[in-house]
Amino acid sequence: DRMAGYVMPDDKGDLTKVPWKAAYDEVPWLSKKAITKEIALDAKADLVFAGWNYGFGEGSGVTPASLDKLGIGSYVLTESCHNGTGAGARGVMPPLDALYTDLAALGKLFDVEDRAQALIRSYKKQVADAAAKVPAHRPTVFLYDDGRDKPLTAGKYAAPHDIITKAGGDHVMKDLKDSWTTVGWETVVARDPDVIVINNYGDTTAAQKKAFLESYAPLANVSAIKHHRIYVMDYAELVESPRNPTAISDLARYLRGVHTA
């Protein structure tokens, strides 16, 4: 009853897989395109909660400043596509820290601080339980988003680095001081990951991405390909989201089953 509605393009997620689908069904789906000031006004919204480049953005003209002029408040998702400050800075905050920060802030905003803190405690315990079972030898993990000529992947400042690490993996691109960026396939081959995690996102399906990886000749001798260790994660699990803790637990369980030489 606090929700005026939500905006989400069709290609940004499969609501049938979301644990809160029943709640979504009770809230108006205002638009399957990008949010606009008109949508917020028509919904009589007091507040817009979105990420930077996940709703807010200079290009669209929907910013906290522009909404403020209309008498509408804003809350910007902490870990989103908004570079940090300083020369060459990327990223804002690790996804779990951002999740806890936003839940605490929203708890205050909606006067449900006790519920928010209980949720944060349960998430922290779930992540700690996964971390307590990390194998002595961490399997090496490469994150594959998309790309044929050059793979789009995650550096140390993108959310998957934190998620992979807390799940017990050794992120092979942890030395890459960037967020989402491309690398050469020769780098992937040289680092020989034990596991490849596919980001299930975009126009190319996870099945298509997997088929490409398994058929791409330069990767034939990479350990993850030789031993058929390809793990699929949804996009919403790999950016700040209440799905992060369960995603870490599930990935941790998978990595514990990976036996490397």
CA distance 77 to 251: 24
Of the candidates 90, 87, 93, 88, the one whose C-alpha atom is nearest the C-alpha of residue 76 is 93
Handedness of CA 81, 82, 85, 87 (dihedral sign): positive
Domains contained in the chain, CATH given: 6-76 (no CATH), 135-256 (3.40.50.1980)
Q: What are the CA-CA distances from residue 186 to residues 135, 191, 219 (Å)? A: 28, 9, 9
Q: By the 8 A CB rule, do 186 and 221 touch?
A: no
Helices 95-109 and 113-131: crossing angle in degrees, nearest 10, is: 160
Reading the chain (261 residues) residue by residue, the pLDDT tens digits are 889 999 987 765 567 778 888 998 999 999 999 999 999 999 999 999 998 888 999 898 999 999 999 999 999 998 866 555 554 444 568 889 999 999 999 999 999 999 999 999 999 999 999 999 988 899 999 999 999 999 999 999 889 999 999 999 999 999 998 889 999 999 999 999 999 999 998 889 999 999 999 999 999 999 999 999 999 999 989 999 999 999 999 999 999 999 765
Residues belonging to the chain: 261
Burial 181-206 (b: 16+ CB within 10 A, else e): bebebeebeeebbbbbbbbbbeeeeb
Q: By the 8 A CB rule, do 171 and 153 touch?
A: no
CA distance 201 to 233: 9
Q: How many CA atoms lie within 13 A of 112 on its CB side?
A: 11
Q: By the 8 A CB rule, do 7 and 35 touch?
A: yes
Residues with Cβ within 8 Å of residue 233, at least 6 apart in sequence: 197, 198, 199, 200, 247, 251
